[in-house]
């Protein structure tokens, strides 16, 4: 059975978690459904957690996670193994989150125009009573690149180099975005 073969290959000594994920990704991209199911099973919590950190809503994070799983069916073949699978997957989740946020922003603009109401936004539904919740809500209002840098460096506790890899820019650029974000946050808070 293909699922058992995947498990036994992955469980052999010498396979690190990263190479195991790469092997599963390769097999899943080749059409092995058991490998795909195993890959998703092992990474679904990661996908959800990343989406939740970026959007701040459990419902939206669940929708994003489901969208990512569907996208992986179509895009898994583009994973080339040069970076860790989780780095590549992080980028897929980030792009899906941005797509959803853009769609929501478009809908909000259209609804606002139709209703002719003021452009006030309701605060995020979680953690509003805490300073931490207010801070992350403010971070989510930052310009896209500043928000990305802050969430990667402080939310995900990545180094500037790691954030640069995911953002596909130089480390100095990440540092600049973090610095600009801090200045913006001081004004917002």
What ranges do the domains of the chain cover?
A: 1-121, 122-189
Phi, psi for residue 146 in degrees, rounded to 5 = -65, -45
CB 148 within 8 A of CB 94: yes
**Cβ neighbour number for residue 24 with a 10 Å cutoff:** 27
Alpha helices (runs of H) in the chain, residue ranges in sequence order? 2-11, 17-29, 33-55, 58-75, 85-115, 131-140, 144-150, 160-167, 171-188
CB 3 within 8 A of CB 24: no
Whether residue 15 has pLDDT greater than 90:
no
Q: Average pLDDT in the 25-30 region?
A: 92
**pLDDT tens digit sequence for 46-105:** 999 999 988 888 999 999 999 999 999 999 999 988 888 998 999 999 999 988 888 877
pTM: 0.66
**CA distance linking residue 117 with residue 181, whole number of Å:** 30
**pLDDT tens digit sequence for 117-136:** 334 444 444 444 577 778 88
The pLDDT value given to residue 129: 53
Residue scoring higher pLDDT (158 or 128): 158
The pLDDT value given to residue 49: 94
Tell me the pLDDT of the chain averaged across its residues. 81
122-189 maps to which CATH number? 1.10.10.10
**CA distance linking residue 140 with residue 148, whole number of Å:** 9
Whether residue 155 has pLDDT greater than 50:
yes
Supply the Cα-derived Rg of the chain in whole angstroms. 19
1-121 fold: Rna Polymerase Sigma Factor; Chain: A (1.10.1740)
Kindly state the tokens that stand for 52.
């939740």
**CA distance linking residue 96 with residue 69, whole number of Å:** 10
Distances (CA, A) of 113 to 46, 100, 110, 119: 37, 20, 5, 9
Q: Average pLDDT in the 125-154 region?
A: 79
Q: 16 in the Ramachandran plot: left (φ > 0), alpha (ψ -120 to 50) or beta? A: beta
């Amino acid at each position: 059975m293909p699922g058992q073969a995947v498990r036994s290959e992955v469980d052999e000594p010498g396979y690190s978690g990263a190479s195991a994920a790469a092997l599963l990704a390769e097999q899943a991209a080749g059409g092995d459904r058991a490998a795909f199911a195993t890959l998703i099973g092992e990474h679904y919590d990661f996908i959800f957690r990343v989406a939740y950190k970026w959007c701040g809503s459990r419902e939206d994070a669940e929708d994003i996670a489901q969208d990512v799983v569907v996208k992986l069916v179509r895009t898994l073949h583009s994973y080339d193994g040069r970076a860790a699978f989780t780095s590549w997957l992080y980028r897929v989740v980030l792009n899906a989150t941005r797509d959803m946020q853009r769609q929501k922003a478009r809908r909000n603009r259209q609804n606002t125009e139709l209703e002719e109401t003021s452009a006030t936004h309701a605060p995020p539904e979680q953690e509003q009573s805490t300073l931490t919740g207010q801070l992350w809500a403010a971070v989510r209002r930052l310009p896209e690149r500043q928000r990305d840098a802050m969430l990667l460096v402080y939310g995900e506790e990545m180094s500037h180099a790691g954030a640069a890899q995911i953002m596909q820019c130089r480390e100095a650029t990440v540092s600049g975005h973090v610095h600009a974000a801090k200045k913006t946050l001081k004004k917002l808070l």
